[in-house]
A and B are shown apart, each in its own frame.
Chain A
């Protein structure tokens, strides 16, 4: 298998889907001749031209709204936000329009749109360029939310997202664009709504996603050296959430740590914890522990950012805590 960067995997998915389906059209900021701020649309303008790779003005509400209308009128827009932080500007079109239209109109309209948006911190990018808003959009019925952690997943999930007849928000992590990983030469897709066991283990379940997957796997290696066998579940799709995968693992290990990069209050980790409390409480041998960002804006100075965002040692400590609380 060839080794491909995460951003190349995304560009491959886009190119393959555009070749397959002439209704797939891209727009966003700087994706034309510039090639995209994250190089994930590199070469597409040259191959598909200005009518299918469209540079938009800085008008997030406008061009995301155009996507909803264009999807209702029969094309399949794949839209790119420069940073996911600006999804707040477009949120009306996602929350009140795209998410509701199929249901509200009695199934007569569909909005097959993908919104790609780079998330995440660890770059000293400051409070308005470090957000991860997946919890907000997972809360809304009618939107799918996907967050790939590897080049392989990014390509396979993006192809499925583009083929999906619902609106999909596809959050790409900025720290992952430069990650290399194996991607097969032959075509493949990964179904939305399916988690993956990224590491099998028998002692503690860690449920996580996106950039945190790598951090959890690194923590698992350290814990393995101590004789603690951790299972790492990568949600891959946040909404719809693969509850079966979470519950099966917790039933096996009896311990749950949930790890996410963003804020804690009313978040994906809250939902994972609630699902386990509702459906597998009897299997838990210790209270659930969450590793999340502190509930403050992400600060600029590296030492402050580091104090706020999760670290590998936090994950190791969390696994120690659940095991310490387990009855002998």
Chain B
């Protein structure tokens, strides 16, 4: 394996962060501390971690309603994310966005999005801007299986293909759009097949294998940076929780959920790193303790942060 050790470790740390962050959010939400809705990324950690590890600092991503993992993987700080989820003034977006609307342009995060598929044209436009400015930036566009049935997906991929735009479409196929099983509303088995129609390569990979995600995205990033155009990468994965927290999950069989949890992405990757000698047990535990400590600090920061002043509701509409 020719992946640098730092990259291997970074991907592991990001997966750990996402796993712990989402579990903590689950409990905080259940405990009534978080307003609104949350959509958890548990089970899909390898996709964001592997994909973002293939990017450089100046590159962009667009995210989705299930976006916490993408933002952490792109370098988002858990304290500002947690504060945003608490609706506090110190959050990434001053409490105006919330779980579904976190953006941080300095990190290249052009926004999570509450509208399924809406990040796809935005990412494609950012890629057009990068191409026009010859900035060398590339864009990763995260979206789900449901979004691949939106007109926004088809119009955007057609344009990206026609203009060889530097964008990588990373589809997280977790089999269900809210409560609808995708095989019931889509004739083709693989969303990646749709790439052919737009003149770009389409790949199907195991979204629970962080190395596979990294390698596929890395290759697509190289093509994009070289001006060779976009790629559609379909990552087969699964969300452990419902569409949103508090949902009655009556559309999935318990055996199916159990089977997917059994082939979860984190533990096998940990074992791989230990087997390869990239990590030892002591370092692995120390890393996990650091992540947990940082997370607890983030929760403390969010709890202690001030609420936004009501009058700030009238600020920030106009440039």
Contacts and interface: CB of A to CB of B under 8 A. Distances in A.
- Are A and B subunits of one complex? yes
A25 B118 CA distance: 22
A66 B124 CA distance: 6
Nearest to A69: B125
Contacts of B163: 54
Nearest to B318: A166
Interface string B98-136: 000111110000110111001011111111111011000
A102 B316 contact: yes
Contacts of A108: 92-93, 103-105
B162 interface: yes
Nearest to B106: A108
A68 B103 contact: no
Which of B91, B121, B158, B163 has most A Cβ within 10 Å? B121
Contacts of B101: 104-105
B319 A71 contact: no
A185 B129 CA distance: 32
Interface string A79-116: 00000000000001100110001111111111010000
Interface in A58-80: 59, 61-75, 77
A52 B162 CA distance: 16
A164 interface: yes
Contacts of B115: 92, 96-97
B129 A74 contact: yes
Contact of B125 (A68, A104, A109, A110): A68
A166 B319 CA distance: 6
B96 A73 contact: no
B319 A104 contact: no
Contacts of A70: 125-126, 128-129, 132
Contacts of B120: 65
Contacts of B113: 97
B47 to A, nearest CB: 21
Of the four ranges (under 10, 10 to 19, 20 to 34, 35 or more), the interface on chain B belongs to: 35 or more
A107 B152 CA distance: 26
Given A65-B125, A69-B124, A71-B125, A109 B96 contact: no
A56 interface: yes
A179 B133 CA distance: 37
B118 A96 contact: yes
Contact of A72 (B91, B122, B132, B151): B122
Interface in B79-103: 91-97, 101-103
A327 B174 CA distance: 72
B97 A102 contact: no
Contacts of A165: 319
A285 to B, nearest CB: 35
Pairs A-B, 8 closest by C-beta atoms: A65-B121, A69-B125, A62-B155, A165-B319, A69-B122, A106-B93, A66-B125, A106-B94
Given A65-B118, A108-B104, A109-B103, 18 more contacts: A25-B132, A57-B155, A59-B159, A62-B121, A65-B125, A67-B125, A68-B122, A69-B122, A69-B123, A69-B127, A72-B105, A72-B125, A73-B126, A104-B101, A105-B92, A105-B93, A108-B105, A166-B319
15 contacts: A61-B152, A64-B121, A68-B125, A69-B127, A101-B103, A102-B317, A105-B97, A106-B92, A106-B94, A107-B94, A108-B103, A108-B105, A109-B110, A164-B319, A166-B318
